[in-house]
Amino acid sequence: MTVLFGILQILTLVVILALIHRPLGDYMARVYTSGKNLKVERMFYRLIGVDSASEQSWRSYLRSVLVFSLVGVLFVYAIQRAQAVLPYSLGFPAIPQGLSFNTAVSFVTNTDWQSYSPDVTMGYTVQLAGLVVQNFVSAAVGIAVAITLVRGFARRNSGTIGNFWVDLTRGVLRLLLPGAIIASIVLIIGGVIQNFNGFTDVTTITGATQHLPGGPVASQEAIKEFGTNGGGFFNVNSAHPFENPTAWTNLFEIVLMLAIPFSLPRTFGRMVGDSRQGRAILAVMASIFAVSLTALTLFEALGGGTATSLAGAAMEGKEDRFGIWGSTLFATSTTLTSTGAVNSMHDSFTSLGGMMTLLNMMLGEIAPGGTGSGLYGMLILAVITVFIAGLLVGRTPEYLGKKIGPREIKLASIYILITPTLALAGTALSFAIPAVRADVEKTSIWNPGLHGLSEVLYAFTSAANNNGSAFAGLTANTPWFNTALGVVMVFGRFLPIVFVLALAGSLARQEKIPATTGTLPTYRPQFVGLLIGVAVIVTALTYFPVLALGPLAEGLH
């Protein structure tokens, strides 16, 4: 019955995503190509002094992204430091400087890494005005950047790639806000709490007193999943019954995570005028997702040692109401979408199961990736794929009628190198600097040895890819991790955006080249297979040596 129920969950998820893929993808294409502004949007543009009809070059667009994000970091930092004097602080003190910096950067970069227990650290004002607001706008920034790259392929002889303030506003008001409102209502119906009650004291059947937390949870849960943000209102995240009460709410939250990323390829196909291109990208995403889910489920279902074999299943760190299949489906979705939410403790997965969650992030979270980041990451890999294919047949590589020359391939190559460099450098420095290593081993790592290395590697991989999930078992609220992970999150978010926007600008300036008999068809199964191979070889294999020292060695031990 467990296997049957797990298969039915997956089939239900596939059917739902198939039903919403086309309408949601088409709707997003209309959102970002419409020439009309809503009344509330026009009011906002007048307020900030933006001409919605004026477009920006890629450099101007980048400056807008960076300035907006910097203001976000400063505001979230300030509101945390002022928490003690804010309403609905629940009596919590101001958040320490190092943790405030880490959290501000985390939520602005769509990482949502949490080095603290939210329900006993932050009051409602900080949660709502600081973190939830960033859940909306950071997701909208990711989608906006992806749309600029799509415009780069779609346009010809253009020096502009759109208007950041228009893309941001439309993403929030037309897409994320309506979706989050609907999702919040569904979650409340499913039993997720939504109140401002603070803590309620109840007497248990044994006569003890228990403090039950309240809070506006459903509204935060909805956008955290729909915007592939991650994080959580409670310390155990989506494993908490107030955040994720039942098996069907668990499946609904997975749908929320995958809805936008799996629909964006349809948006891409519509905007470039060839839906076949969108279906090819979707096929790559779906194939990688299916393989990853199958492997993770097998590793967890078969167990990883004598104890789990005798117990009948690897259920440590998993909720009974979700089981192995509900946990692995959630874990695959969250680590392949940059969501970072967890409904089970990845630290308690089998060694090879934990390695799969790491690999999902190491791929660059492209299957289907975060809101926007997954699509532009996959398109970068498509550029590299056509370049490789062009070398094999001795032709100038082209993609969607645009030449992939030295400038384009340099930008794509640097993009690919950024996150591995950050993740591996952060992990290496944690053990290479004597004073830092002593603190990491003494304070942060609870499980020394191979597993301890995996915990540190997971933390920096999560930060560099702006995922935000944690292996658990690692105390990250220390000066080193608050600072190092914060810096990695900043570079992991904005350096790739620099090169994506530069590539978008370069492509938009080009004239389209008509297809010839020698043009590589980029919508056929051959290209899909080649793109899958490039995605695995160029990204995941970069990490093989360190995986051999950590989870792979632990799993084969």
Confidence band for 304, pLDDT divided at 50, 70 and 90: low
**pLDDT above 80 for 293:** yes
Of the three residues 212, 244, 272, the one that is the final residue of a domain is 272
- Let me know whether 268 and 381 are in one domain: no
- Let me know whether 389 and 252 are in one domain: no
547 vs 499: CA distance, rounded Å:
28
- Let me know whether 128 and 256 are in one domain: yes
Mean pLDDT of the chain: 93
- Let me know whether 23 and 148 are in one domain: yes
DSSP 261-311: HHHHHHHHHHHTT-HHHHHHHHHHHHHHHHHHHHHHHHHHHH-SSHHHHHH
Q: What percent of the chain has pLDDT over 90?
A: 79
- Let me know whether 387 and 251 are in one domain: no
- Let me know whether 249 and 388 are in one domain: no
Question: Residue 32's pLDDT is what?
Answer: 98
Helices (H), 49-176: 58-81, 97-108, 124-125, 133-154, 164-170
Of the three residues 272, 290, 310, the one that is the final residue of a domain is 272
Give the pLDDT confidence of 99-142 residue by residue, as tens digits: 999 999 999 999 999 999 898 899 999 999 999 999 999 999 99
Confidence band for 307, pLDDT divided at 50, 70 and 90: low
Q: Is 97 inside a domain boundary?
A: yes
Handedness of CA 164, 182, 292, 454 (dihedral sign): positive
Q: Is 210 inside a domain boundary?
A: yes
Q: Is 331 inside a domain boundary?
A: no
Give the pLDDT confidence of 77-103 residue by residue, as tens digits: 999 999 999 999 999 999 999 999 999
DSSP 328-359: HHHHHHHHHTT----SS-GGGS-HHHHHHHHH
29 vs 22: CA distance, rounded Å:
11
- Let me know whether 384 and 263 are in one domain: no
CA distances from 317 to 213, 245, 314, 452 (A): 22, 16, 9, 17
AA letter at 216: P
- Let me know whether 15 and 132 are in one domain: yes
Confidence band for 302, pLDDT divided at 50, 70 and 90: confident
Give the pLDDT confidence of 455-478 residue by residue, as tens digits: 999 999 999 999 999 887 889 999
Q: Is 338 inside a domain boundary?
A: no
CA distances from 221 to 87, 125, 373, 463, 522 (A): 22, 16, 20, 21, 38
478 vs 497: CA distance, rounded Å:
29
- Which residue matches tokens 């880490």? 102
- Let me know whether 267 and 397 are in one domain: no
Task: Provide the pairing of β-strand 209-213 with 398-399.
Answer: unpaired
Q: Is 161 inside a domain boundary?
A: yes
- Let me know whether 382 and 267 are in one domain: no
Determine the Cα angle at 112 with ends 111 and 115, to 5°.
120
How many structural domains does the chain have?
A: 2
**pLDDT above 90 for 362:** yes
- Which residue matches tokens 């030449």? 403
Q: Is 25 inside a domain boundary?
A: yes
Q: Is 352 inside a domain boundary?
A: no
**pLDDT above 70 for 234:** yes
Question: Residue 312's pLDDT is what?
Answer: 59
Range of the domain at 386: 371-556
93 vs 95: CA distance, rounded Å:
6
**pLDDT above 70 for 153:** yes
Question: Residue 390's pLDDT is what?
Answer: 86
11 vs 3: CA distance, rounded Å:
12
Question: Residue 326's pLDDT is what?
Answer: 94
CA distances from 206 to 5, 200, 211, 241, 548 (A): 35, 17, 14, 21, 49
DSSP 143-195: HHHHHHHHHHHH-SS-S--B-HHHHHHHIIIIIIHHHHHHHHHHHHHTT----
Q: What percent of the chain has pLDDT over 70?
A: 98
Of the three residues 272, 307, 330, the one that is the final residue of a domain is 272
Q: Is 322 inside a domain boundary?
A: no
329 vs 90: CA distance, rounded Å:
35
Stated as kind and residue range, the H or E segment containing 403 is strand 402-403
Instruction: Assign 3-state DSSP to the chain and report helix, strand, coil percentages, each to 5.
Output: 70, 5, 30
**pLDDT above 90 for 516:** no
Q: Six-digit token pair at 470?
A: 């944690």
Angle formed by the axes of helices 323-336 and 351-362, to 10°? 30
Residue of higher predicted confidence among 110 and 394: 110
**pLDDT above 90 for 313:** no
User: For residue 403, what are the β-bridge partners?
Assistant: 398
